[in-house]
Amino acid sequence: MYEDYYNNFYKELARIDDRNNTFDKIKNLLPDLKGKERIIDIGCGHGSVSHELVKRGFDVYGLEINDEALENLKTKGFKIIKKDITLPLELNDKFDVVLLLDVLEHVFDPFALLAEAQKITSKGGYIIISVPLYFDLLDRLKILFTGNIISLDNLCYGKENYNKFRTYNYDHVRFFRPKEILEMGSRMNLNIDKTEYLPSFYLGSNILLKIIMKFISNKITAPIYPNLLAHSMKVRWKVS
């Protein structure tokens, strides 16, 4: 079922992610790299975020289940691994940097996947994650007045794709608050090395609402009260 979903319904969304996600997503979260580090991007889609690391000469593995994305990864110079991330990864290799970018919200057991990531991280290496947060101020108001849990950030896929989402086909199956992400790392004895909160944003057509949200939620306010004003967070853990 997991493979069918990501090779069918999600295939077009993966293409859109490829066009819109860039290296900027992790640029500020990466540790000081020397050039010899081995990196794995788990659930990397078409590799648009970590492709820059390939171009810089790093040994980068792309772990993915979408067949179209895997073919694209080959052309970009990734070393590919086809795996279902809902199952044990069963990898013998160790990596200096393990990326889980907008992935944990897609699996029923995010703790198990994070544990798998820890297993393949070298001692002194890093696990870097990014996750959307539920629910910021705008999404809370949306739920209150419409009863719809589908986050407004999915408007990035366009209104046509956004309107296809229902609770029965929505690709996010876990809904995180900041403390829950940090709690998972704490339970696994991971050491927080860096945390970053991104402000809420609005992708609709209401200009006034965009201005209000930008004023309320910005780079200064989001870290102060992330439960309400941050729409996503990134964490870098160091593995001891």
Please give the full DSSP string across the chain, using - where no structure is assigned: -HHHHHHTTTHHHHHHHHHH--THHHHTT-----S--EEEEET-TT-TTTHHHHHTT-EEEEEE--HHHHHHHHHTTPEEEE--TTS-------EEEEEEES-GGGSS-HHHHHHHHHHTEEEEEEEEEEEE-TT-HHHHHHHHHH---S-GGGGGG-HHHHTT--TTT-S------HHHHHHHHHHTTPEEEEEEEEE----SS-HHHHHHHHHHSSTTTTTTSHHHHEEEEEEEEE--
pLDDT, one tens digit per residue, over 110-169 is 999 999 999 999 999 999 999 999 888 888 988 899 888 888 888 888 888 888 888 888
Enter the tokens of residue 61.
Answer: 């593995």
pLDDT score at 152:
82
pLDDT score at 202:
76
Ordered by start, the domain boundaries in the chain are 2-238
**Spatial separation of the C-alpha atoms in residues 209 and 219, rounded to whole Å:** 18
CA dihedral 44, 49, 52, 54 (to 10 degrees): -10
pLDDT, one tens digit per residue, over 12-43 is 777 877 777 899 999 999 999 998 999 999 99
pLDDT score at 88:
95
pLDDT score at 2:
67
Residue 174: pLDDT band by 50, 70, 90 thresholds?
Answer: very high
Residue type, 36: K
What is the phi/psi pair of residue 58, to 5°?
-75, 155
Enter the tokens of residue 240.
Answer: 């001891």
**Spatial separation of the C-alpha atoms in residues 185 and 189, rounded to whole Å:** 6
pLDDT at 7 over 90: no
Q: Which CATH class is domain 2-238?
A: alpha beta
Label the pairing between strands 230-238 and 191-199. Answer: antiparallel
Distance set, CA 29 to CA 4, 24, 62, 89, 208 (Å): 32, 9, 19, 24, 32
Residues 29 and 101: beta-carbon distance below 8 Å: no
- Which has more pLDDT, 149 or 237? 237
Q: Is the pTM of this model over 0.95?
A: no
pLDDT score at 18:
76
pLDDT (mean) for 228-236? 95
pLDDT score at 67:
92
- Which has more pLDDT, 185 or 206? 185
